[in-house]
Structure 1
Amino acid sequence: MSEQTGVSTHQIVERIWLSIAERRLRPGVQLKEGQLASIFSVSRARIRQALTLLERDGLVTIIPNRGAFVYKPTVDEAKDVFFIRRTVEHRIVERLCSHISKADTKRLRDHVALEREANAKDQTTDIIKLSGGFHLLLAEITGSDFLFTTMRDLIARSSLITAVYRNTSRFNCGPDEHIEIVKAISKGDTRKASDLMGHHLEHVESELDLTEIRDLSHDLKAALS
């Protein structure tokens, strides 16, 4: 098979992740190496690299002698992930309120502006990426590798959980609540920023229906198109 050098491992990871986040790939579906290699016109080795990265982010489970499967989060795990997110994000807010610079405040405002643009144009893929990206940017600005890597994992898992359990077709982790958090952080108002972040995460979690797992598509080719 002739491999398309233009399709990188990162691009494969992004396509699979977005197919899950956009509710086109269901938890539990098998990600067959041969089929994925054919879809992306790449070698099975490159597919294995991508699946390993997805496993690291908690989005894929690799079972020896059986293959790779989209991870299927339990209701208890969904609750645990959001509980941990609240704890970690409160710490991030505390850190930022004590030292954020004007330049970093501008980075956050610019990011929210991109979110508004994506929402206005109803660009689902960008909305999903930018929504999680806002929280990851907060962690990055703290300068803590530990907080950043922890949030990267939590956001990946949250995205999967949201894709599986949310009871609406739209993502509402949006710019209006984000900009209020930025304003409070820029003023160094730790209490208000923490309260806003807590309310924001409660809002996101309240849109989840933690009673059942949606029956999404088994068709890899259709889901990744």
Structure 2
Amino acid sequence: MAARIATAIHEHRLLPGTKLGEDRLASIFNTSRARVREVLARMARDQMVELFPQRGAFVAKPSIEQALDVFEARRLIEPGVVQRLVRCMDNAKMRRLQAHIKLEREARESGDKRATVRLSGEFHVLLAELAGNSALLRSMRELSTLTCLTISLYESAVNTCCLVDEHEAVVTAIAAGKSEEAEQIMLNHLNHIQGSLRLEADSDEADLEQILGDLL
């Protein structure tokens, strides 16, 4: 159940703020409400879901401040992931990275946006997995999910990201053993993602004069 809900979130099938009703989930997965509550509580600990007393469970909806915190954390963590991976890279790990890049490119070329979004996030988790540090892997799983939710909420009308090309550039630098270059490409990549999002704080009060004045 948790895996299927997580996949739906990562593919933007379940959007931030979507209510996850216990009765409906119990019916869909043919299980008890107690089991549903257990799964939702675990997903809340992973920050995929938010629980509200008397209201129930909802797909998490990161604020702009939380989104900015996520990107700051990623800029601190992911260069270290790449650096560690350069040191421990071998042929088997490189084959896994290249296979993933191939899947990303195929999804993008076929126009499968949901698979493209999911695979883009999984790329960063895969880097942490191959780097061989369990704490980094746990952090990247959480940050990847929060990034996915952030993109779903704040993506610009025109998405300028070419993620698979940037991912491929990271892998090429890692394969060449160029740690500093790979780290810089990763930082540029994260800045590119953040820059494509609408993360400016909105005013609490709408400017009625401007909005309605334009219609007079």
Q: TM-score range by the shorter chain?
A: 0.7 to 0.9
2:61 to 59, 72, 86: 72
Tell which deviates more after alignment, 38-47 or 57-66. 38-47
1:25 to 7, 15, 36: 15
CA-CA distance at 1:145 after TM superposition = 0.3
1:117 to 106, 128, 136: 106
CA distance in 2, matches of 1:171, 1:145: 33
CA-CA distance at 1:120 after TM superposition = 1.0
Q: Indicate the residue corresponding to 2:127 in structure 1.
A: 138
Cα distance change, pair 95–9 in 1 and its aligned pair in 2 (3 A)? closer
1:14 to 7, 10, 17: 7
Say which SS state the counterpart of residue 31 (structure 1) adopts. Answer: coil
The answer to whether the 8 A contact 1:61-1:71 is kept is: yes
Matched, 1:106 2:99: no
Q: Which runs of 5+ in 2 are unaligned?
A: 203-216
CA distance in 1, matches of 2:137, 2:23: 34
What is the TM-score normalised by the length of structure 2? Answer: 0.84
CA-CA distance at 1:12 after TM superposition = 3.8
2:183 to 181, 194, 203: 194
The code of the aligned residue for 1:33 comes to E
**How many residue pairs were aligned?**
202
Q: Which runs of 5+ in 1 are unaligned?
A: 1-7, 214-225
Say which SS state the counterpart of residue 188 (structure 1) adopts. Answer: coil
Cα distance change, pair 99–41 in 1 and its aligned pair in 2 (3 A)? closer
The code of the aligned residue for 1:72 comes to K
Determine which structure has greater relative contact order: mean sequence separation of CA pairs < 8 Å that are 6+ residues apart, divided by chain length: 1
1:158 to 135, 147, 152: 147
Q: 1:69-96 CA deviation, whole Å, 9 max, x = no partner?
A: 2222111111110010011101001111
CA distance in 1, matches of 2:109, 2:192: 21
Q: Percent identity?
A: 38
CA-CA distance at 1:60 after TM superposition = 1.1
CA distance in 2, matches of 1:119, 1:192: 25
Cα distance change, pair 33–170 in 1 and its aligned pair in 2 (3 A)? farther
CA distance in 2, matches of 1:44, 1:172: 41
The answer to whether the 8 A contact 2:2-2:43 is kept is: no
| Pair member with larger Rg | 2
